[in-house]
Structure 1
Amino acid sequence: MNIIKSSSGWLVYAFATTVSWGIWGALIESPEKNGFPATMGYIAWALTMIPCAIVGLKITNWKLETSPKAIVLGMAAGLTGAGGQIILFQALREGPAYIIFPIISLYPIVTIALSTTLLKESATRRQAFGICLALIAIYLLSYSNGEKKLTEGHTWLILSALVFLAWGLQAYVMKFANQSMKAESIFFYMTISGLTLIPIAYYMTDTSQEINYGWDGAYAAFFIHLLNSFGALALVYALRHGKAIIVVPLTGLSPLITITLSLILYNVWPSPTLLAGMLVALVAMYLFSK
């Protein structure tokens, strides 16, 4: 993958992430509906990171950076992402998805804030306008009127805030790490960190329920999550060559692809809110591509 070296290479990688994550989003509910729970899906996802990590190392002729700094940065990038996913499982048990997802979808705000203040990244007026539109679109695309669920306490809100911070911090760490180490090494340590959290995901699984390990369950989850892992690898490359304040909002528009595919596959027409989000997302993508 690391053969694209033109000035617009980061855009190719960013779009690869957006498209692969968008397709992943359209298909990911299928295994769960067929009896393969999301927590087990995490395990499948962690395992799909392995072949992508092998491809990355092959590109660098198996040269893995093993300095303490490289290990810490790589593991930090992985644990913030995978840890956020584990926390999200619990947040969804405590509170309503229709509120939680719009909250965490705005995690690029954290990345933008850290990258502008600590990495001194800046954007042109056109790009800045695109970033603002992207954040609006991300929120609209993540919004759902779902069933109103009565919540008790504020645990779900605290957990949602932790996911919001973790995912925003992850993208910043990935960009920061790219300044001193190879993208392939970053992804390798992200893979290791994802694998280390498998026992937690398994512990959170209700094993008293029958789990579908068949082709439409576990196997389907593996191949679907492979799209997510490929997108994550492409994201590391995008952040190596592009600014985090632009790359992250752009990849956050993956729900645009998800909704479009869902419309085609399931014949589901988007609500006015989602339709508005799709239109705003298209404008944002146009601004980023110029």
Structure 2
Amino acid sequence: MAFSFSKSNRWLGYALLTTIFWGIWGAMIEIPEKNGFPATLGYTVWAFTMIPPCIFALYQINWKVEYNFKSVLYGSLAGLLGAGGQLILFETLKIGPAYLVFPFISLSPVVTIILATFLLNEKTTSKGWVGIGLALLAIPLLSYQEPGNGATGGYLWILLSLLVFLAWGIQAYILRFANETMQAESIFFYMTVTGLALAPIAIGMTDFNQQINWGFSGMYSAAFIQILNAIGALSLVYAFRYGKAIIVSPMTNAVAPVITIVLSLLLYAVIPHFIIILGMLLAVVAAFLLGIEEETENIAEES
């Protein structure tokens, strides 16, 4: 990807790009839906906005996609887990309380950290673990929503939330694992293909009896907003190429919501709950510790 990050901080640069794009995306994502463009169709639009970053990525490798069995398997798994988790989330939010669902699934980096620690043998120092711990504490706090709706589907929403939690946690691990044996660009290509392959399911989940806004404030604004998510996803794949999963995953999951909350405050003049403010403070400290820790380690390895 054509950005001039130094070798030692390349992972951090891409991780920050992801947090910035995802942070802005998070602040704006509700706009199309509030204007009458369903979230399921928003997924479909997102799948198509993955194409431009994919073309950019493939250009970087002269269109030479890796198509051996392992590459197809790892890339497709990463795409199916990410996109499939999103589709399951749509159903989860129909029957479960958002103020419980989001904190639950936001802890998916726990899965990534466990897998990366035991299967990839990734390690960090005590300072790094403090940063990871603070990030994991910050994520559910940043996802806090005051109780406003109750679960209507019994305990099914818990099972569905668990599936999303596992899917996204395992996806992040696979992104790191796959980068050991294949190019990041090929990974993103298969993520794009699988995202598009699941689009018909999202369309089938849409209630077309409702009035749908196909205009600028609906579908077209969704496209503009979803391209931010797509670019952030490409940056994330590169971040996992150069950085540790136990660092990248909690950092991006903790910092992006901070940007979302700050922008939402500026755009909508909404004062965050004190629990969310606490989460923001923890996330900032965690990001600082993780960034400094990994940067120090990289410099030590190069010297």
Normalising by structure 1, what TM-score? 0.98
- Residues 52, 233 of structure 1: 8 Å contact kept: yes
What amino acid does structure 1 have at the position aligned with 2:284?
A: L
Indicate conservation of the 8 Å contact 2:138/2:279, yes or no: yes
Q: Given that residues 23 and 257 in structure 1 are in contact (C-alpha distance below 8 angstroms), is that contact kept between their aligned partners in structure 2?
A: yes
Extract unaligned runs of 5+ from structure 2: 293-303
Maintained 8 Å contact 1:95/1:149: yes
Deviation of 1:153 (Å) = 2.1
Alignment of 1:1-290 (within 5 A): 1=1, 3=3, 4=5, 6-253=7-254, 254-290=256-292
C-alpha displacement of 1:288:
1.6
Is the CA contact 2:24–2:259 (under 8 Å) kept in the aligned structure 1?
yes
Deviation at 1:150, TM superposition (A): 4.1
Contact 2:95/2:151, CA 8 A, preserved across alignment: no
Paired with 1:33 and 1:146, the residues of 2 have a C-alpha distance of: 20
After TM superposition, the structure 1 stretch with the greater mean CA deviation from structure 2, 75-84 or 278-287, is 278-287
2:137–2:282 CA contact under 8 A, matched in 1: yes
Structure 1 outlier segments of 4+, above 6 Å? none
Quick one: distance in 1 between partners of 2:31 and 2:152?
27
SS at match of 2:50: helix
Superposed CA offset, 1:219-246 (max 9, x none) = 0001100000101000000000000000
User: 1:210 offset after TM fit, Å?
Assistant: 1.2
Deviation at 1:5, TM superposition (A): 5.0
User: Which amino acid in structure 1 is aligned with residue 235 of structure 2?
Assistant: A
Q: Which amino acid aligns with 1:108?
A: P
Is the contact made by 2:80 and 2:194 (CA closer than 8 Å) also made in structure 1?
A: yes
TM-score, structure 2 length as denominator? 0.94
2:272 maps to a residue whose letter is P
Q: Is the 8 A contact 2:80 2:191 kept in 1?
A: yes
Supply the distance in 1 between the matched residues of 2:174 and 2:55 (Cα, whole angstroms).
22
Q: CA deviation at 1:289?
A: 1.9
Matches of 1:223 and 1:151 in 2, distance apart? Answer: 33
Distance between the aligned counterparts of 1:42 and 1:167, measured in 2?
16
Q: Confirm or deny: 8 A CA contact 1:2 1:237 kept in the other structure.
A: no
Give the distance between the partners of 1:239 and 1:95, measured in 2 at CA: 32
CA distance in 2, matches of 1:104, 1:32: 21
State the shift of 1:152 in Å.
3.9
Using the TM superposition, give the Cα deviation of residue 151 of structure 1 relative to its aligned residue in structure 2, in angstroms: 3.0
Q: What amino acid sits opposite 1:248 in the alignment?
A: S
Distance in 2, matches of 1:80 and 1:122, equals: 25
Instruction: Please say if residues 15 and 235 of structure 2, whose CA atoms lie closer than 8 Å, have aligned partners that are also in contact.
Output: yes
Q: Number of residues paired by the alignment? A: 290
In the TM superposition, what is the alpha-carbon distance from 1:2 to its structure 2 partner? 5.1
SS at match of 1:226: helix
Distance in 2 (alpha carbons) for counterparts of 1:212 and 1:86: 21
